[in-house]
Structure 1
Amino acid sequence: MDNTIQQPKNNILTVIIASSAGTLIEWYDMFLAIILAGALSVNLFPADGSSHFLETLAVVASSFMFRPIGSLIFGNIGDKIGRKYSFLLSLILMGASTFLIGCIPNFQSIGWAAPILLLVCRLMQGLAISGEYAGAVIYVAEHAPANRRGFYTGFIQATVPIGLLVCLSVIFVTRTVMSETDFNNFGWRIPFLLSSVLVLLSYFARKKLHESPVFEELKKAGKTSKAPVKEAFTTKGNVKLMLKAIFGGNAAQSSVMQTSLFVTLFFMQRAVKIEETTVLLITGVVTLCSAYFYQYFGALSDRIGRKKVLISGLISSLILIPVSFYLFMQIGNPDGLTEVHSISTEATLKIMGISFLLSVAGAATYGPLGAFMLEIFPTKIRYTSMGFAQNMGNGFIGGATTFVTEFIKTSFVVSAFMAPFIGLIYPIFLVVLAIIVNVLFIPETYKTDLTEEENVDTSNARNAGNSLSEV
């Protein structure tokens, strides 16, 4: 008689819904401060007649800078205690941080404590999202069939545009139901405060889930890592793999995504001078229409491989980024107007179409990336290794794109023609670097066994050695 106690299993649909919903909410929280940077600069910085938009972006970008540290903290928890516990903790931290941003008194009330509190909340958000994304992708993948990892993790990838869409919708509705003055005075707080309800619902849905079966088997066998952070940096070949993951995918992917979403949004607002409601409408429609392609490209990578899809997206982005921004200016402001203006329906549709193509290219870089990232690292240090590589590339390097592009535009003296576009050299450089690294150094991973205890580089070397000995 078999007395083995069967570990309770999660339904894959339940896993996807609970994991995706939580990640969607966390992206919603993360994006709010970026989109409302203008309102934050007015309320939480001194009203001294000068624009504090760049300083606000710097504070907002601080969350991306802090994410590599958070990835080591949550990776350590996820690899030692469990995937589920780690991303429950990250969800609570994100929800609390976002709610508190909506509670910060304005600069007139508490002075410089206002931007300092914003900075503290953004650092907490950076810590939270660093544990959330990697945990959700790994949790889903470790439940998924081997030949459908890209398909299932693609739902996690799609939470980025959907989270942004929810964010834009809440802001748009809030702006619509009140005057511009009321929104700038107190209405901007509402989207931050509302997120607490969504976070609580997601938390209780996730709490019902069981631990990942792959991790549970490793734990029962007594093979979990005792020091995940140390092993991530000392395991043979693992640092090299993290570097490949950072510069071969994550940094460029994040930069392309930031460029297609936020750099585009700010460019149309601040350079093309299009009315804000029109800009939000364009961004919202494009985000909605492109959301499907994140999951589509993840599924496609199950059939033809991660590299082919990723490189195609990178090459498309390299072409579309400069072309798109040039056309945004030519279509949206051909006369070089310096004041905010409306544009025709035809011009709006043209800009939507161009922006959509750029977003689809971004989806091709992001769709397969989650599956690719988790496949190159061994199970016992997967959370820590993937989290650090993802947050260093996606957060620290690529996540700074919005701030760096604005900083370059305001710091470099170039011709009047080049001035609005000079910031694009940053995402273009990262894309070119990723193409080179992918072509020359990145292994294909889509047939990797997730229970394999070796990383991809070590396994490839062993297999090559076995082949030679057979000869």
Structure 2
Amino acid sequence: MATATMPASSAKGAPMTQEEKKVIFASSLGTVFEWYDFYLYGTLAVIIGKQFFSALDPNSQVIFSLLAFAAGFIVRPFGALVFGRLGDMIGRKYTFLVTILIMGLSTFIVGILPTYASIGVAAPIILIGLRLLQGLALGGEYGGAATYVAEHAPHGKRGAFTSWIQTTATLGLFLSLIVILGTRTAIGEEAFAEWGWRIPFLVSIFLLAISVWIRLSMNESPAFKKMKEEGKTSKAPLTESFGQWKNLKIVILALVGLTMGQAVVWYTGQFYALFFLTGPLKVDGATANILIAVALLIGTPFFILFGSLSDKIGRKPIIMAGCLIAALTYFPLFKALTVAANPDLAKAQATSQVTVVADPNECSFQFNPTGIAKFTSSCDIAKQVLAANSVSYENVAGTGPAKIKIGDKEIESYSSKGLPADEAKAKDAAFKKATIDELRAHGYPAKADPAKMNKPMIIAILTLLVIYVTMVYGPIAAMLVEMFPTRIRYTSMSLPYHIGNGWFGGLLPATGLAIVAQTGNMYNGLWYPIIFATITFVVGMLFVKETKDVDIYAKD
């Protein structure tokens, strides 16, 4: 842990200077723009899937777009290593400039990138390459921002000051939703799906210009500047961070006992909630975006509340409480969300349960990330039709061709294996029509009825999910900074943060979709965040030490 004498300007209780406040504001604002760039893709994943993966079937388009979204998260730890090393060797300020340029230019290029219809397979390849660049840049951004702000903050107020950095991801997502919604409203849904989706990406060039100007106006971190003047910067931050057990064990604890659980709670409360509304609950995209945006607006001040509270009662109790409460309440909250957002669906599920009766030996794993698997058995075809209509079902072992049971009605599926193309197409159309007609007859809606939505309740539930996010995320920047010495802080804290958020968090939407596709229950994707939040709670409570009183100006 960090132990040393801090500069007088940061003495406990001393107010920050106007210059320090300006620098921290500039750092936070620049980070908002960077998150805006990153989340545009996630919010527009379905449209991007149609534009760049149009050679695949609709289900595979969504899966591929989510996997391309996840690709940016997967490389974030590598960005943490590359830029963390630079930040610990040459300084925080110049590393900031590099990350914002990479992020901003990559986002702008997505806005002018030709689609699959224009240049074929090169389009998705280039798109994924740009996503990887965005992930690398973001991997270097957060650790620098958190370190930079914490090293400016007075002792005893680090939680409060770094919590402003914690709001940037949510504000960036909020800004992206507002720009997308404004564009959709201005030009209409049809034009937006065809070409208007490019506008939010192109607008980012102006945000990039502002961000670069902001970053150029920054001063170097006083802690790094002091250490550099004393000639004590690390010559090999990667080796010191991960090659020495005394530091490596803290990195591992930071991952398993903090960031892993924080990440899944964060992504469940913001991204998975959005996917759940627009997917299983069939709420139209514009309405879902507005509801999420309102919840974010209400919930965002709680980042500051919990960050400031952590200066008084500690970081650990708040983070652990957030993980535990989330794990215990996700199932009832998402079921309540179904009742509020699509009451017709909730009623149909309660009165007309859907069951797939099939031979387990002919049922394949329903997740098809490569897009090349061919589902030809009667079981697979039945499940594919139900999945395409966002219908939850139970699996029951049986013999013979698979059957879909809806209430007291039964529809027999078919196997397309070996059938001529025309015959398979005709059987597919007839089976889909029979299934959908029966679903409608039993009250399963084609989409959520806006007139029946309980929007105040939806906003209340979404806001509560965001408050869980603020509990685990508000204090975590200060805690991660306090766990490592100054000379390797950027590198050491960045890796566990980005493995937790990039891998455990970023893979949540695609993994949750895979779990739902395999089990047939639209709520089962919640097991993913529940399990990892619970692991973090147990490990954190047993092995992670409180850090709020640590002196972060370390020389070791």
Structure 1 length-normalised TM = 0.91
Gaps of 5+ in 1: 1-5, 455-471
Higher RCO (CA < 8 A, seq sep 6+): 2
Is the 8 Å Cα contact of residues 86 and 95 (structure 2) preserved in structure 1?
yes
3-state SS in 1 of match to 2:553: coil
- 1:11-410 alignment to 2 at 5 Å? 11-51=19-59, 52-336=61-345, 337-344=444-451, 347-410=454-517
Does the CA-based 8 Å contact 2:114-2:123 persist in structure 1? yes
Native 8 Å contact 1:250 1:398 kept in 2: no
User: Is the Cα–Cα contact under 8 Å of residues 317 and 361 in structure 1 kept in the other structure?
Assistant: yes
Q: Could you say which structure has the larger radius of gyration?
A: 2
Q: Report the number of matched residues.
A: 442
SS of 2:179's equivalent in the other structure is helix
2:554 is equivalent to residue 446 of structure 1: no
| Regions of 4+ moved over 6 Å | none
Task: Verify the 8 A CA contact 2:480 2:493 in the aligned structure 1.
Answer: yes
Q: Secondary structure at the match of 2:153?
A: coil
- 1:422 has 2:524 as partner: yes
Which residue identity is paired with 2:240? Answer: E
Kindly indicate whether the alpha-carbon contact (under 8 Å) linking 2:479 and 2:548 is maintained by their aligned counterparts in 1.
yes
- Counterparts in 2 of 1:316 and 1:275: CA distance versus 1, 3 Å: same
Q: How many angstroms apart in 2 are the aligned matches of 1:406 and 1:72?
A: 30
Q: Is the 8 A contact 2:79 2:140 kept in 1?
A: yes
Q: In structure 1, what residue type is equivalent to 2:39?
A: F
8 Å CA contact 2:80, 2:494 repeated in 1: yes
Instruction: Report the alpha carbon displacement of residue 345 of structure 1 after superposing the two structures with TM.
Output: 7.1
| Larger helix fraction of residues | 1
Q: Match for residue 350 of structure 2? A: none
Q: How far apart are 1:277 and its partner, in Å?
A: 2.0
Give the deviation of 1:212 after TM superposition: 0.5
- 1:16, CA displacement in angstroms? 1.8
Other structure's SS at 1:209 match? coil
Counterpart CA distance in 2 for 1:45 and 1:369 is 37
List per-residue Cα deviations over 1:147-175 (Å, max 9, x = no partner).
10000000000111111111100000000
Which letter maps to 1:442? V
CA distance in 2, matches of 1:59, 1:397: 15
Aligned to 1:413: 519
**Is the 1:320–1:358 Cα contact (8 Å) retained in structure 2?**
no
AA in 1 matched with 2:266 = M
Write the distance in 1 (CA, Å) between the matches of 2:471 and 2:159: 12
Q: Secondary structure at the match of 1:448?
A: coil
Q: Give the 3 Å change call, closer, same or farther, for CA 48–235 of structure 1 in structure 2.
A: closer
Q: For the Cα contact (< 8 Å) 2:31–2:141, is it kept in 1? A: yes
* Aligned-partner SS, 1:447: coil
- Worse overlay, 171-180 or 48-57: 48-57
Contact 2:341 2:448 in 1 (8 A): no
Given that 2:227 and 2:555 are in contact with CA atoms closer than 8 Å, whether structure 1 keeps it comes out as no
Alignment match, 2:385: none
CA drift at 1:335? 2.5
Shift of residue 10, structure 1, vs aligned partner:
7.6
Kept after mapping to 2: 8 A contact 1:10/1:209: no
Give me the whole-angstrom Cα distance separating, in 1, the residues matched to 2:262 and 2:220. 29
**Partner Cα separation in structure 2 for residue 203 and residue 448 of structure 1:** 33
User: 2 CA distance for matches of 1:291 and 1:187?
Assistant: 29
Quote the residue 2:537 is aligned against: 435
Q: Say whether the 8 Å CA contact 2:314–2:548 is kept in structure 1.
A: yes
**AA of the residue aligned to 1:28:** Y
Alpha-carbon separation, structure 2, partners of 1:298 and 1:104: 40
Q: CA deviation at 1:239?
A: 1.0
Q: Using the TM superposition, give the Cα deviation of residue 49 of structure 1 relative to its aligned residue in structure 2, in angstroms.
A: 4.5
